[in-house]
Amino acid sequence: MASCKPPNFALITATTPNWGIGLNNDLPWKLKADMSYFTRVTKRVHGISPEDTSKTIQNAVVMGRKTWDSIPPKYRPLNERLNVVLSRSGSVVSLESPNLSFPSFSESIRHLTSLPDIFRIYVVGGSHIYREAIKSSNCTHILLTRVYHQFECDTFFPEIDENIYGLAEHEDLVRFVGEDVPKGRLSENGLEFEFLLYVRREILGER
């Protein structure tokens, strides 16, 4: 039976001030606090009815083949999440069932929306996938970790169009991710960063 859920999804990324996200198929920085935030947020299923918590509901993480390749083999598939890898060439190695691979972004979203046990779809990069995803009206939220240092990068996030996405209040970020996120600039080994949320303007401020 066709799903009646809207095919909505969120993007999660960490970028430099000029939108850099990667260098040599790796992250340009080491930021433990952001890695663990990414892990907690993409795993967390919250705010659902008690009947549903008894089922095996989880989130899906959708990524490009190069991002998949950039994850050390011992950490992939990312645990407690359905891993979805996009590849046109079909060259995805070691993707064990029940994780999935699709030749197009829209097909992956359509399929994930039809599954009854997916709470949220998180698009986790890299630049090719973000570029396609951010143009979709079904991209409702962008979780952005702003890294306040101009690291050298060869891969970039598409600049957020503030006519389409607005910066949300900190309380909206807390509500969306389901944890008490520290507010404002933080620092780890002298590197400053901040957890932010952008929301599609049509739904900005909705509770």
Ligand X SMILES: NC(=O)c1ccc[n+]([C@@H]2O[C@H](COP(=O)([O-])OP(=O)(O)OC[C@H]3O[C@@H](n4cnc5c(N)ncnc54)[C@H](OP(=O)(O)O)[C@@H]3O)[C@@H](O)[C@H]2O)c1
Enumerate binding residues for ligand X (CB under 6 A): 13-14, 21-22, 25-27, 63-67, 70, 86-89, 91, 103-105, 124-129, 132, 155
Q: Which is nearer to ligand X, 64 or 77 (CB)?
A: 64
**CB nearer ligand X, residue 57 or residue 196:** 196
User: Minimum CB separation from ligand X for residue 55, in Å?
Assistant: 29
> How far lies 62's CA from each of 20, 30, 87, 109, in Å?
20, 22, 11, 9
For residue 11, the minimal CB distance to ligand X (Å) is 9
Minimum CB–partner distance for residue 138 and ligand X (Å): 15
| Runs of H (alpha helix) within 20-169 | 32-43, 50-53, 65-70, 105-114, 127-134
Residue 166: name the closest of 138, 141, 192, 132 by CA.
141
Query: Whose CB is nearest to ligand X?
Result: 126
For ligand X, the closer of residues 5 and 135 by Cβ is 135
Q: CB of 95: closest distance to ligand X in angstroms? A: 12
Cα–Cα dist 93/166, whole Å = 38
**Between residues 44 and 57, which has the closer beta carbon with respect to ligand X?**
44
- Strand ranges (E), 58-103: 58-64, 81-86, 100-102
The nearest distance, CB 16 to ligand X, in angstroms, is 9
Q: Which is nearer to ligand X, 84 or 199 (CB)?
A: 84
Closest listed residue to residue 37, CA positions, set 150, 112, 124, 105: 124
Angstrom distance (rounded) from CA 132 to CA 88: 14
